[in-house]
Structure 1
């Protein structure tokens, strides 16, 4: 803007000339009319909006469906576990058990366990390894214990279950030293049971070490690999005289093969499945004679399949060579993976007058 134009602008501003109404031009009137007739954002003269193509999805969806059906027909086993199968070998690990299951795990494909894949065809394929499969609840002050003491009692309760059912030395038939160290030495009936059950004499129904400890004869069976699958949880409440009563309900799956058998791909692998329910009382030392870091046993129960059907011997005895000969019309059949039902207190070996129970799957 030149100096002359600036001075003229200042004079007109003072005089008020810019406030006078201005008649719109003919072009402005034409643009306004078009906007009123066609509301919305005007399209730029250099802009371009491609037309939307018609959707042709029918043949595409049909093609995908045909491919999926063909894949299922040709490769059914490879696809198991892709869509949330409860026990598929390729499925994701299950979340920890936080409550009692409402039903048994879903059916599995009929896949035989092998030395390379001992949990193939089993719901346990998605279970956790070892003590990690025993869920521990949040600790809260209960009875005579504060929160920290309850947390310690829960951890030691899980340690007892691991020492009794997972220790490799105990599995080979050795003395369960670590588990015994957690038992109240002043509980006379339990100490008498331990003395009789772990002696060199033959086991009896009243003094069978399998009621608490998992053991195999090393000359008969050996564990396949070093993994035992587990699933279960701990719960707790206030017990007698203010004690903290912890209940462990845990299922152990032991894949075993013959100690001196075939080590090739055709070797027989049997899964011995053991469910234990142990109730432990962490007593108030002001009320009960006990030792620090030990607990009293309230009760213990065992449910077992594929671990022997004869009288108690003190060891699990997997039925090698008989898996194909088991009768299909046995009167008593059990699903060893069904944790929705109460534990069978018959020890999973026999029923009154009906012979040995048969597992519906292993």
Structure 2
């Protein structure tokens, strides 16, 4: 794995038409940095930055000297602007945090990290800065004390802040819908719903989690989106490079791993805005906590967890300036992920949790990071550096 990082345009052929500069729809002043935004009182009071969702890392060893060449996609009609993927291009690799082991031996919990030295927080409501017209997070309800005991099949979230996260789809709450320049409330509602369904199909579908084909995920993507072909090829090869299926969806190898129970804990935030090109953009940043055990293990088997954080942007393009997104579908903008507790040495198309007896120690003096710390966005780091985590 490379220690280098790189960024490049996705290059799927959706180039800006006739060299014209993009502008917001609805007559917005292109020089106004806040054009296209509608801020409610809660957002204004709680916002600390207007920086977009997180940047991310990617593995770019092959691209350092041999930048990948794309095959342009041709459409009948106006093309779309280039995707501004600062933290995901062809490879969504970002910070692959692969932890190895569990809290039974915190000094032996390690992983592939390239990010986050922020202070740990047990508060599930702590969120990264986001931009958009509105945000929403699931209510914790009656807060419960974090159980210091180790996880079991009966209580798989013991000792984890995820104990206070919402269950499954209930954690994917959506913000209040408002009209934005160029888009009706109904169009905003559809974009939010499609993004939520995409997160469910890629991170909560039981068949997909068991290594199955993410048919529901693919069915939600705009056929004109070049990502569909990339995902299909990544699923076919099931390799880490050049494209890794886990970049888009969460998958475990069913021959080695089985879920514990039917609950995945979910915590995160969604927002939306109209970007400088006049395109409706939905920003989503969610953490999914998966309790797992070894496949075929008994009732007293060791239980551990994997924590996958996904950050993505989806887009709805409008004609006639750009080729419009197909109704009922969504286009992918930027995508990033962190996967906590996935082997430092077995890199392929699965999240590969490790257990205390299987742990692999990194060399040197690795930093300690906390996969539950959501106070900062995913940042640039050094993919390929195996680091210690404080908990999973």
Whether 1:302 aligns to 2:332 is no
Shift of 1:309: 1.5
Question: 1:254 maps to which residue?
Answer: 290
Aligned 8 A contact 1:301 1:345 in 2: no
Shift of 1:281: 0.6
Confirm whether residue 230 of structure 1 aligns to residue 266 of structure 2: yes
Q: Which residue of 1 aligns with 2:279?
A: 243
- Hey, what does 2:65 align to over in structure 1? none
Distance 1:222 1:319 in 2: 12
Given that residues 273 and 307 in structure 1 are in contact (C-alpha distance below 8 angstroms), is that contact kept between their aligned partners in structure 2? no
| SS in structure 2 of the partner of residue 290 of structure 1 | coil
Q: 1:218 aligns with which of 234, 254, 259?
A: 254
Structure 2 residue corresponding to 1:334, chosen from 337, 359, 369: 369
Which structure 2 residues correspond to residues 106-125 of structure 1 after superposition, within 5 A?
110-125=148-163
Deviation at 1:321, TM superposition (A): 3.8
Residue 285 of structure 1: how far off its partner (Å): 4.1
Q: CA deviation at 1:135?
A: 2.6
Q: Which residue of 2 aligns with 1:192?
A: 229
Structure with max Cα Rg: 1
Q: Structure 1 residues 356, 180: closer, same or farther in 2, change over 3 A?
A: same
Judged with a 3 Å threshold, the aligned counterparts in structure 2 of structure 1 residues 143 and 294 are, in CA distance, closer, same or farther, namely farther
Question: In 2, Cα distance between the equivalents of 1:227 and 1:197?
Answer: 27
Q: C-alpha separation between the residues in 2 aligned to 1:120 and 1:323?
A: 21
Which of residues 350, 353, 362 is equivalent to 1:318? 353
Q: Report deviation, 1:148.
A: 1.8
* Deviation (angstroms), 1:270: 1.0
Give the Cα–Cα distance (whole angstroms) in 2 for the partners of residues 194 and 324 of structure 1: 30
Instruction: Give SS of 1:205's match.
Output: coil
Q: Could you report, residue by residue, the CA deviation over 1:249-301 in whole angstroms, capped at 9, with x for unpaired residues?
A: 0000000000022x233x11110000010111111143224311112111101
Relative distance call for 1:159 and 1:314 in structure 2 (3 A) is same
Alpha-carbon offset, residue 323 of structure 1:
6.7
Q: Aligned-residue CA RMSD in angstroms?
A: 2.9
**CA shift at 1:134, angstroms?**
2.0
Give 3-state SS (helix, strand or coil) of 2:290's partner.
Answer: strand
For the residues of structure 2 that align with 1:333 and 1:299, how far apart are their CA atoms?
A: 27
Q: Match of 2:203?
A: 165
- 2:212 aligns with 174
Shift of 1:95: 7.0
Q: State the match for 2:308 in structure 1.
A: 274
When structure 1 is superposed on structure 2, of 326-335 and 157-166 the one drifting more is 326-335
Q: Is the 8 A contact 1:87 1:125 kept in 2?
A: no
C-alpha separation in 2, matches of 1:351 and 1:196: 23
The alpha-carbon deviation at position 147 of structure 1 amounts to 1.0
With the length of structure 2 as denominator, give the TM-score of the two structures.
0.60
Structure 1 residue runs without a partner (length 5+): 1-85, 89-93
CA deviation profile, 1:154-187 (whole Å, cap 9, x unmatched): 1111111111100001001111111111111112
Q: Name 1:360's counterpart in structure 2.
A: 390
Cα distance change on mapping 1:315 and 1:324 into 2, 3 Å: closer
After TM superposition, list the pairs within 5 Å mapping 1:57-72 onto structure 2.
none
Taking a change above 3 Å as real, the CA distance of residues 326 and 310 of structure 1, as seen in their structure-2 partners, is closer
Q: Deviations over 1:295-326 (max 9, x none)?
A: 21111011111122225310011112447775
Q: What 5-or-longer segments of structure 2 have no aligned partner?
A: 1-120, 128-134, 138-142
Residue pairs, 1:31-50, within 5 angstroms: none
C-alpha contact (below 8 Å) 2:213/2:235 kept by paired residues: yes
Q: Secondary structure at the match of 1:198?
A: helix
For 1:330 and 1:184, the matched residues in 2 are separated by 45
Aligned residues of 2:136 and 2:175 also touching (Cα < 8 A):
no
Judge conservation of contact 1:184–1:296 (CA < 8 Å) in 2: yes
SS at match of 2:199: helix
Cα 1:244–1:277 shift into 2, 3 Å: same
Greater helix share, 1 or 2? 1
